[in-house]
């Protein structure tokens, strides 16, 4: 069952547009939403909850249309956008006291448990927290009303490697507890560590949506000694680029096999770099 289904979502700005964005997040999965800076990740995530008003398209959570069931759906999801960006001078205790009143199923015991688990002091203010702790407080708020789906916009951006690793560990723990997660990032390592599925956006369009492993297996990295040698396969190569040792490119796995090219498995970073390079040609 899908906890989130987006179909043909469009949003037009003067210099940028989301074009028929379509993807889904399955129950109990962690989906990594990747793309370079400015690809449209934040606009998509904000459009899901109508923080940004889409021009067209449909968004369904837990099988229900968001526009028609906005309040009920928001009870079941948590949106975290890079930590706490509100009321930086108010104590966490006060923010929680205000927030809990919006949720009939708020679980105070769970909230206290998450404060303990994340080592958060309720007497502190968001201003006094590191970026990682701010994200954790947002998570504590979201999880204390038993959010079944977490939507996180670049939660690891700006965190040191240790804090990032801790946060990703939390994602995996939450997944075991039955929470589905959609998080955007441009940090490849985050995805490799915990994403089950990949949704790849480039310039406002979804280029790929697949389980992580099959996405990785669908491409191969090829290298050539010189540009002349690569020329023969030019039409089949994706994002061909020259470096000091020759040329590198990406090919579809089926193409690599049919042409008997000397190809190696491609990692996520190679795939992203070459796809972006191809898109910019």
Partner 1 sequence: MKALLYKEFRLVTHPTTVLFLLLSAMLLIPNYPLYVTFFYCTLGIFFACLGGRENGDVFYTVLQPIQKCDAVRARILFAVVFESAQLILAALFSLLRIRLLGAQNAAGMDANLALFGFSLLLLGVFNVTFFPLYYRNPAKVGKSFAVAAAILFLGILILESLCFILPIFKEKLDTPDPQFFPEKCFVLLFGAIFYVGLTFAADKIAERRFAQLDV
Q: Which is nearer to partner 1, 98 or 172 (CB)?
A: 98
- Helix, strand, coil shares of the chain, percent, nearest 5, are 40, 30, 30
* 53 sits near partner 1 (criterion: CB under 8 A): yes
* 74 sits near partner 1 (criterion: CB under 8 A): yes
* 16 sits near partner 1 (criterion: CB under 8 A): no
Structure tokens at 57: 């398209």
* 49 sits near partner 1 (criterion: CB under 8 A): yes
- CB of 85: closest distance to partner 1 in angstroms? 5
Q: What is the DSSP code (8-state) at residue 13? A: -
Question: Out of 52, 187, 210, 261, which residue is the one contacting partner 1 (CB under 8 A)?
Answer: 52
φ, ψ for residue 105, nearest 5 deg: -100, 25
Q: How far apart are CA 114 and CA 274, in angstroms?
A: 41
Q: Which is nearer to partner 1, 81 or 185 (CB)?
A: 81
Stretch of residues binding partner 1 (CB under 8 A), selected from 65-73, 129-137, 202-210, 273-281: 65-73
* 93 sits near partner 1 (criterion: CB under 8 A): no
Query: Among candidates 27, 103, 24, 106, which has minimal Cα distance to 71?
Result: 103
Query: Among candidates 279, 251, 276, which has minimal Cα distance to 264?
Result: 251
Residue 192 CB: number of other CB atoms within 10 A?
15
* 99 sits near partner 1 (criterion: CB under 8 A): yes
* 221 sits near partner 1 (criterion: CB under 8 A): no
Check if the beta carbon of residue 83 is closer than 8 Å to that of residue 138: yes
Question: Out of 15, 89, 119, 244, which residue is the one contacting partner 1 (CB under 8 A)?
Answer: 89
Residues that bind partner 1 (CB under 8 A): 46, 49-53, 70-72, 74-75, 79, 81, 85-90, 94-95, 97-99, 101-103
């Amino acid at each position: 069952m899908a906890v989130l289904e987006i179909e043909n979502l469009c949003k037009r700005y003067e210099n940028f547009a989301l074009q028929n964005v379509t993807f889904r997040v399955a129950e109990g999965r962690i989906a990594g939403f990747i793309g370079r800076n400015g690809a449209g990740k934040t606009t998509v995530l904000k459009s899901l909850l109508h923080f940004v008003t889409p021009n067209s398209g449909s968004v369904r959570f837990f099988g229900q249309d968001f526009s028609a069931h906005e309040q009920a759906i928001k009870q079941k999801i948590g949106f975290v956008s890079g930590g706490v960006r509100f009321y930086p001078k108010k104590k966490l205790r006060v923010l929680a006291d205000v927030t809990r009143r919006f949720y009939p199923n708020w679980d105070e015991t769970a909230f206290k448990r998450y404060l303990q688990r994340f080592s958060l002091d309720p007497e502190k203010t968001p201003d006094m927290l590191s970026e990682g702790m701010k994200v954790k407080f947002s998570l504590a708020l979201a999880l204390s009303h038993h959010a079944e789906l977490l939507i996180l916009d670049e939660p690891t951006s700006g965190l040191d490697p240790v804090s990032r690793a801790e946060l990703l560990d939390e994602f995996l723990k939450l997944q075991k507890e039955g929470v589905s997660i959609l998080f955007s990032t441009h940090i490849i390592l985050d995805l490799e560590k915990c994403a089950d599925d990949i949704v790849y956006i480039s310039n406002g369009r979804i280029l790929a949506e697949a389980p992580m492993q099959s996405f990785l297996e669908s491409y191969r990295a090829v290298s050539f000694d010189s540009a002349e040698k690569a020329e023969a396969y030019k039409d089949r190569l994706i994002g061909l680029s020259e470096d000091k040792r020759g040329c590198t490119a990406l090919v579809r796995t089926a193409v690599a096999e049919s042409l008997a090219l000397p190809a190696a498995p491609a990692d996520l970073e190679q795939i992203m770099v070459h796809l972006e390079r191809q898109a910019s040609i």
